Amino acid sequence: MADFSLDQLISVVEDGTDAPLDRVSSAALLKEQVERLGDELLDHFVKQARDQGCSWTQIGEALGVTRQAAQQRHTATDDRLLRGIAEGRELKRFTDRARTAVVNAQTVAIEHKHTYIGTEHLLLGLFVAEDGNLAVRALKDLGVEREQVERLVDEHIPRGGAEVAGVPPFTPRARQAVADAVGEALKLGHNYVGTEHQLLALRQIEEGIAAKVLDQLEVSYDGLKAKVIQLLSGLGLKGPTRPPTQED
């Protein structure tokens, strides 16, 4: 049984805004996130079944589909999140820069010769799409530069020694950060997800390398959130919706 109810989801949307149409947009954002989490939940248990020796025929029967359909749906040569972004199926309400930052994390991981995409790569990915990036602006206002982040990331996770083949998969914490960015947006009453929400989500995952690096740089979640709100207010973006041309 899921540990959240329809009433709880309704409350999340209603707490963010009083405007009816803004609530519709926020509900759509939350719906997309719930659906994506459902896909990842199913993927988790399909992988578990495979690891325990179940055949694709058996898994297909459990899912009510053919063996071929089950295998095609749950196997891939690259990471599903990145593939979904490229095909326009994932992160639909993420701003262009926010989506680019997630894709940039792949580039960062490969450059560091890491075989996975972690929260540290997502953090550095924000800097790659720096132009007009509200997350980077907030960090710079708090005295944080990319070089500092890069140095501390390297201290936590040394660079690999071999070239990376294929597309590195996202770690569970990295996927959690992408998912939690939606919650950060809703808490601020926004019906889009920008780089600022991604950064706030990364800071909240205390066990992630990104949060540890930000903690070393004396960037707290509360301080970061206050800076984000200040920057948004300075841009005159007080409501939950922002035009794409004014995107973070």
pLDDT score of 247: 44
Q: Which two tokens stand for residue 222?
A: 């509360």
Q: What phi and psi, each to the nearest 5 degrees, are found at residue 193?
A: -120, 120
Residues 109 and 227 in one domain: yes
Residues 41 and 86 in one domain: no
Residues 27 and 86 in one domain: no
pTM of the entire predicted model? 0.74
The residue segments making up the domain with residue 68 are: 20-75
Residues 102 and 25 in one domain: no
- Letter for the amino acid at 106? Q
Q: Which two tokens stand for residue 218?
A: 């004396």
Q: Where are the alpha helices (DSSP H) in the chain?
A: 6-16, 20-51, 56-63, 67-74, 80-86, 96-111, 119-128, 134-141, 146-156, 172-187, 195-204, 209-216, 221-234
Q: How many domains does the chain have?
A: 2
Q: Of the candidates 45, 71, 50, which has an alpha carbon nearest to the alpha carbon of residue 60? A: 71
Chunk the chain into consecutive blocks of 10 residues (it has 248) and report each block's average pLDDT, rounded to whole numbers.
66 73 72 69 79 86 84 64 67 86 92 94 86 87 95 94 84 91 89 93 96 97 95 68 44
